[in-house]
Amino acid sequence: MKKIFLCFVFIFAFFILPQPALAETAQEFVEQGFILEKQSIYGEAVKIYTKAIKSDGTYADAYFRRGKALFSLKPSNCMEAINDFTKVIELAPANAEAYYERGLLNAFVINNEQSRSDMETAARLGHKGAQEWLGLREKEGEIKGEQVRADMEMAAGLDYKVEPLIHFDFNSYDIKSSYYALLDKIGMALKEGQPEVAIILAGHADSTGSETYNYRLSLRRANAVRKYLLKRHGIAPQRIIVKAYGESKPVASNDTKEGRSLNRRVLLTGMD
């Protein structure tokens, strides 16, 4: 009789007392995020997709949807979006849509070689959009982003065949006053000559020091140039994206003083 009573008490407690809410699955989070996306509430959608990823780090669709929402929220989120599409490809190597979306963003940041590679992979996997993109690029015979950069630089009175660049002293990210005139030309071109153009500022360093330190130094250099253009010319922040390459892309030998001085630089490239 005592056992029956205890069993009854347990059943009563289970059904009557408050129970903790069941954890939402990654798929359920993604479904919620997609509803927000369709309503153009991209910031909240990103947060929901992030919850889905925390719930299940192997759920490829959560990364894919977050990548889409990140770029829709702000084009300056393009690198974060590329990282999400890369994660999708790692989890699902045959996902043609992920290659296609990453290819579009690589074209957006003028990473033309990787863009074409992504599109070729997507096309091999049967993606019609990628096949059409490749056909259009072959027909055009030039990358639009390169032409945008040329137009912007011509508006600034610069030689569009040579990428504008700024060199820095050893272990420094201070902009030399001798470069102010060049930056002012670029700033005026962005503000008046090409008001819709966005640019990338790519920072570089020589090989002195650790790779980690040089990466951070190259990022500081690119950000210093960005800050100058934003503060002095009032360019919208989303129009200037910075990238850092550290010591990975030298243009001269790091074995000589002259070569190292050439490698301490920031380059300007255009975006669609």
Residue-range domain boundaries for the chain: 26-140, 146-271
- Which one-letter amino acid corresponds to residue 178? S
More confident: 193 or 233: 233
187 pLDDT tier (thresholds 50, 70, 90): confident
**Dist CA 145 CA 147 (whole Å):** 5
Q: Are 200 and 107 in contact (CB under 8 A)?
A: no
* DSSP class of 256: S
Write the CATH number of the domain with boundaries 26-140: 1.25.40.10
The residue to which tokens 């920072």 are assigned:
203
What CATH number should be reported for the domain whose range is 146-271? 3.30.1330.60
For the cut 60, the answer to whether the pLDDT of residue 197 exceeds it is yes
> What is the DSSP annotation of 183-234?
HHHHHHIIIII-TT-EEEEEE---SSS-HHHHHHHHHHHHHHHHHHHHHHH-
Evaluate if residue 160 carries a pLDDT over 70: no
Give 3-53 pLDDT, tens digit per residue: 554 454 444 444 444 444 445 798 999 999 999 988 889 899 999 999 999
Query: What crossing angle do the helices spanning 60-73 and 78-91 adopt, rounded to 10°?
Result: 170
Task: Find, among 98, 73, 100, 70, the residue nearest to 86 by Cα.
Answer: 98
Q: What is the pTM of this model?
A: 0.48
Evaluate whether 84 touches 67 at the Cβ level (below 8 Å).
Answer: yes
Give the tokens for residue 158.
């610069």
